[in-house]
Amino acid sequence: MRFRLTFVLLVLNLVALGFIFFIRMDPGRATFEEAARLVLPAGLVGSADRIEIAGPALDRDWIFTREDGNWSVESPLTWKANAFAMERLLQQLTHLRWETRFPVSQIGGAEEDALRQYGLDPAKAVIRVVRGAETWEIPVGEATQVGNRLYLLSPDGRDVLVVSRDIFDILASDLTAFFEPLVIRIPEFEARALTVQEEGTGAPRVRISRDGTGPGNPWRFESPLQVPAESETVRRFLERLNHVEVHRFVHDPAEDAFGSGDLRFTVEGNNRRQTVIIGRPVPGDPVPARRFLRISGLPTVVEVGEEPFAPLFNAQESLRQRRFLDIGDAFPTAIEIILDERTTSLQRLEGGEWQVADTRRGPENAGRRTRGAEREVVERIVRRLAELEARRFVTEAPSSSDLAERYGLAPPQRTIRLHLPGRDEPLELRLGHLDPEDNLVYARRSGMPTVFKVRPGILGLVPATPLHYRERSLTTLPQAARLTAFRIIDNTNGETVFERALSERLDSWDALEVAEDLEDTALRDSIETIRRSLRRFTVRDYVAEEFTDPLRLDADTKIPWRYRLEAKILLPGAPGDEPRVDTYHLTERLGGRTQFGGSASANVVFTLTQPLIDALDRLVTARPEREPPPAAPPPADLPPMVPEAARHADDDNGPEPEGNGDDEGNGGTDGPAPPAQ
């Protein structure tokens, strides 16, 4: 009997324990209990229209309002709210739960005295949540002495609630974090148009736009001119605008923060736009410089860095396409360089090689001489012309008198014509006067009214002399030709200062080198350089189309030919197996990079390449036992430098204006230079 009773009691206990366990593990019941402990009704914060935070614990009263799903700060300043800070606040209010509570009526003493001891009368702060016509108000009191909790008064005023301190941490923090720090809200990839207007000055409105978005849709100016914009520059500018942050919110802006000359610009996106007004510089010369700014429709004034907005103050020039020779991928079939009555023509042949022709007008210069052109020189010209950029835009409507007198473009000082495949008319670039104020050259392109300025290096890139384009290989021996000897002769006394020759026993240069067993590696390399140069004689630049003895750089400057380089060359099938003698006349080395040469048979004067200069210098001084040559004429007989106008430039670009250094620079020599062409 007792065993049966014990068994029944055990079963009942197990059932009771199971029931209790089931009840505790019921998620619905747990959810219900959690919801019952919420301070604010579920769903209230998510649909709220307005949130106010005020009280003596705060420096200012804060008001947040929501419109079209976006939160804004309405007080103390009107500005867009920071999305992350607002999300944190909304989450805290949505999940605000009491951990314990007790009725106000059970607190001893008068009600106001009871609330005062918890910091609830008056409250340290008050949170109001508004939805339509409904308002929930939560007074915030003191922190608990233990447990790191916070006292609140329930919205109905009946209970004192003890909640987590997290909400207090938000209220006690710097509430300026609720301001959105970024000014521009339309990202670059969404932007479709940009309008700039300088107010109160009468300046024309500037507008650029693009059809659609993305890299495949270039930007163009719509007004005041319909010209291409520099799409990459516009893209980078808009990207920088997206990162402009407020430096300081101005609570009491000065009356003169805005005025005549303010810059108003509008960025248009997909079905939205934002207009920003840039005011005057912030006084006091802050570093970096700052300006006052406000968003159209908002009274709030802020300070922002000036530098990101700099392109807007000169948008017609700073955002305009500066590369005006739209060559694209097409390579010219012909190039003409015209200077006065002289035309230098570069023509591409069917095999891809180039030839240069010189045409001069007038009966005394009639005729046309054609020679091979240096392909690398032509390709460099085309590449640099395709990259040529306007440095200044001068005018869009030049007068006839300005074109002729001020700019030197009617007629132009120099004309470059590019004949492109698929185009009926050549693309023409006209170059005019050099403006001494900025050291830039006036220029104009065919089909465009604009007068702009380019760097003067373009003049050195395309000189009007055909010598500049002539093929740099003066002579090239056939494969079967054989160099049998060469020597360097000093013209002052006729002495041979260096000589090498093959013989019957040593009938190859390799055999001769082994037999001599030269220990001086530099000397051996110099001999090899001379031999290679005599098989394919390459010049650095051509100086004159007529060989003279002595060399005449100008009417007052003459330089004697100090040496002769003679080479004996055996050509297959030559009559009587007589070798041909090639002779090159050489001046002394006039500097580290300057030594002139000449060929009477080719009737040309040139400058030597650097490897040949160094090799000749080594061979001339290779035999210390020989009699030294007579002393060179005194310096007074050899001018150390020709006038600046005659300086030779290795590079094809001119001097750098205003200290800007990109792809155009100076080149020069450190000795006498060829005459100006």
For 606-655, how does the pLDDT look when each residue is reduced to its tens digit (9 = 90+)? 999 999 999 999 998 865 443 444 444 444 333 333 333 333 333 444 44
pLDDT at 226: 87
Of 109 and 144, the one with more pLDDT? 144
Residue pair 540/533 in contact (Cβ under 8 Å)? The answer is no
Q: For residue 227, give the DSSP letter.
A: -
pLDDT at 503: 81
Peptide bond into 411 cis (omega under 30): yes
pLDDT tops 70 at residue 661: no
What mean pLDDT do residues 6-11 have? 69
pLDDT at 29: 44
Please give the sequence-ordered ranges of beta strands (E in DSSP) within 158-316, or none if there are none. 159-164, 193-198, 206-209, 220-223, 248-250, 263-268, 273-281, 290-295, 301-305
What mean pLDDT do residues 299-326 have? 91
Instruction: Give backbone dihedrals phi and psi of 47, rounded to 5 degrees, phi first.
Output: -115, 10
How far is Cα 291 from Cα 312, in angstroms, rounded to an integer? 13
pLDDT at 645: 33
Residue 517 — very low, low, confident or very high, per pLDDT cuts 50/70/90?
confident
pLDDT at 577: 72
Residue 271 — very low, low, confident or very high, per pLDDT cuts 50/70/90?
confident
Residue pair 173/92 in contact (Cβ under 8 Å)? The answer is no
pLDDT tops 80 at residue 46: yes
Q: What does DSSP say about strands 125-131 and 98-103: parallel, antiparallel, or unpaired?
A: unpaired
Residue 22 — very low, low, confident or very high, per pLDDT cuts 50/70/90?
low
Element (H, E) at 26: none
pLDDT at 196: 94
Of 85-89, 218-222, 572-576, 667-671, the one with minimum mean pLDDT is: 667-671
Q: How far is CA 363 from the centre of its chain?
A: 51
User: Which residue type occupies 465?
Assistant: T
Of 27-41, 83-97, 112-126, 239-253, the one with minimum mean pLDDT is: 27-41
pLDDT at 654: 42
Residue pair 533/599 in contact (Cβ under 8 Å)? The answer is no
Rounded (5°) CA angle 616-618-623: 110
Residue pair 229/321 in contact (Cβ under 8 Å)? The answer is yes
Rounded (5°) CA angle 589-591-595: 40
How far is Cα 392 from Cα 407, in angstroms, rounded to an integer? 13
Element (H, E) at 383: helix 375-387
Element (H, E) at 461: helix 457-461
How far is Cα 215 from Cα 193, in angstroms, rounded to an integer? 14
What mean pLDDT do residues 449-454 have? 92
* Domain parsing of the chain, residue ranges: 35-178, 193-318, 334-468, 473-640
Residue pair 355/347 in contact (Cβ under 8 Å)? The answer is yes
When the pLDDT of each residue in the chain is averaged and rounded to a whole number, the result is 82
- For residue 36 the two structure tokens come to 């019952």
> What's the full length of the chain, in residues?
677
- For residue 308 the two structure tokens come to 């990101």
pLDDT at 32: 52
Element (H, E) at 393: strand 392-395
Q: CA of 432: how far to CAs of 341, 390, 401, 405, 439, in Å?
A: 16, 14, 14, 10, 12
80 beta partners: 72
pLDDT at 629: 40
How far is Cα 528 from Cα 531, in angstroms, rounded to an integer? 5
> Of 602, 568, 553, 352, whose CA–CA distance to 481 is shortest?
568
pLDDT at 360: 67
pLDDT at 118: 84
Q: For residue 171, give the DSSP letter.
A: H
Of 642 and 595, the one with more pLDDT? 595
How far is Cα 613 from Cα 565, in angstroms, rounded to an integer? 12
Give CB contacts under 8 A, 24+ apart, made by 579-585.
Answer: 579/484, 582/475, 582/534, 582/537, 584/537, 585/547, 585/549, 585/561
pLDDT tens string 321-354: 888 887 777 789 999 999 888 889 999 988 888 9
Give CB contacts under 8 A, 24+ apart, made by 310-313.
Answer: 311/233, 311/237, 312/196, 312/263, 312/265, 312/278, 313/198, 313/263
54 beta partners: 126
Rounded (5°) CA angle 453-454-458: 145
Cβ neighbours for 269, distance < 8 A, ≥ 6 positions apart: 186, 187, 190, 191, 192
* pTM (predicted TM-score): 0.68
Cβ neighbours for 116, distance < 8 A, ≥ 6 positions apart: none
Of 133-147, 449-463, 467-481, 657-671, the one with minimum mean pLDDT is: 657-671
Residue pair 207/214 in contact (Cβ under 8 Å)? The answer is no
How far is Cα 488 from Cα 495, in angstroms, rounded to an integer? 9
How far is Cα 236 from Cα 70, in angstroms, rounded to an integer? 28
Residue pair 275/295 in contact (Cβ under 8 Å)? The answer is yes
